Structure 1
Amino acid sequence: MRKKAVAILILYTGLLIYWMFFGFSRVQTEDYMYNLIPLSTLKLYIENFSHFPLETWLINLAGNIGVFIPFGVLLPLCFQKLWVIRDFLKVFLVGIFILELCQLSFRVGSFDVDDILLNTVGALTGFLLLRIFYIIKMHISK
């Protein structure tokens, strides 16, 4: 099971890197784009709901959560130590912070603290679903 999870994690990470740096018609910009104010991007989307097409909402809000759910499942399956939520969060936050910094450095996309928050919600959702699955599985097998 672990070998399959590692293979899926590697493939999914590659896919995610593609999405973050090349997908969605990303192009390199001249300016460094960033948001360091927590919840300001989310507030912008909520306050200007009717000004954004549904696709923008789905990609920026639901996408930033949903795309990271698999990491909440795969990381603990691949690395036993990451079954502890504190350790899981440390590793995930370092990884997502590095990815966001790379986007800023290469000027592809932006460094957005709100993306980090949404990505973390997604990863924690996957983590909690995995834990619930294992609790149910243990309860059924008794």
Structure 2
Amino acid sequence: MKQQTLFRVILFLYSVMLLYFMFAGFHRYVHDNYRYNLIPLHTISAYVRNLSLDHIIDSAINLIGNIAVFIPLGFLIPASLSRPWSYGRFILIFSSLILLLECMQTLLRVGTGDIDDLLLNVIGGSIGYLLFRRYETKAS
């Protein structure tokens, strides 16, 4: 199997898993109202302010998890393309997709559409993209 084809299969499987967890996993249910945050750094600063032994796991899962879970996508998307995008094009399309997912979570009322999640997810995607570029340089 060609390496690019393998990356495409992994990208598909990872995307399906990610969509499941964003819309159905973690005991998600439909809320009575729309939940969203449009104030940049509001949620992040609340997690940082509330750091204590009692809340460190929740804070770490939210902050680190929202970055870490998108690192593979940042790697797999350019690895799946026949000609990888520039970082500018990648970040524009990646950010647009994350924004769409956050809006869908809000409209379907199965999560919270949060600008801070978008920021953290884009950081994760950027790390993955940089790892891909490093991998690509070493492979050639």
CA distance in 2, matches of 1:57, 1:38: 17
CA distance in 1, matches of 2:19, 2:109: 14
Measure how far apart 1:28 and its partner are: 1.0
* Alignment partner of 1:113 is 2:110: no
The alignment-based identity, stated in percent, is: 41
Distance 1:129 1:136, change over 3 A: same
What is the match of residue 90 of structure 1?
Answer: 92
What is the match of residue 78 of structure 2?
Answer: 76
Q: 2:23 aligns with which of 18, 21, 44?
A: 21
User: In structure 1, what residue type is equivalent to 2:58?
Assistant: T
Measure how far apart 1:70 and its partner are: 0.6
CA distance in 1, matches of 2:29, 2:122: 25
User: In structure 1, what residue type is equivalent to 2:137?
Assistant: I
What is the match of residue 35 of structure 2?
Answer: 33
Distance 1:8 1:59, change over 3 A: same
Measure how far apart 1:25 and its partner are: 1.2
RMSD of the TM alignment (CA)? Answer: 1.5
Scaled by the length of structure 1, the TM-score of the pair is: 0.90
Measure how far apart 1:52 and its partner are: 5.3
Distance 1:25 1:88, change over 3 A: same
Distance 1:51 1:106, change over 3 A: farther
Q: Contact conserved, 1:45 with 1:52, CA < 8 A, in 2? A: no
CA distance in 2, matches of 1:97, 1:17: 14
Scaled by the length of structure 2, the TM-score of the pair is: 0.91
- Structure 2 gaps of 5+ residues are none
- Structure 1 gaps of 5+ residues are none
Write out per-residue CA displacement over residues 59-87 of structure 1, whole angstroms, 9 at most, x where no aligned residue.
Answer: 21111000000111111011245431011
Q: 1:67 aligns with which of 66, 69, 77?
A: 69
Higher helix share: 1
User: In structure 2, what residue type is equivalent to 1:9?
Assistant: L
Write out per-residue CA displacement over residues 34-62 of structure 1, whole angstroms, 9 at most, x where no aligned residue.
Answer: 00000010110111112853331232111
Instruction: Answer with 99-108 or 127-136: which moved more.
Output: 127-136
- Secondary structure, aligned partner of 1:83: coil
Distance 1:19 1:137, change over 3 A: same
> Structure 1 residue runs of 4+, over 6 Å off?
none
CA distance in 1, matches of 2:41, 2:76: 27
Equivalenced residue count is 138
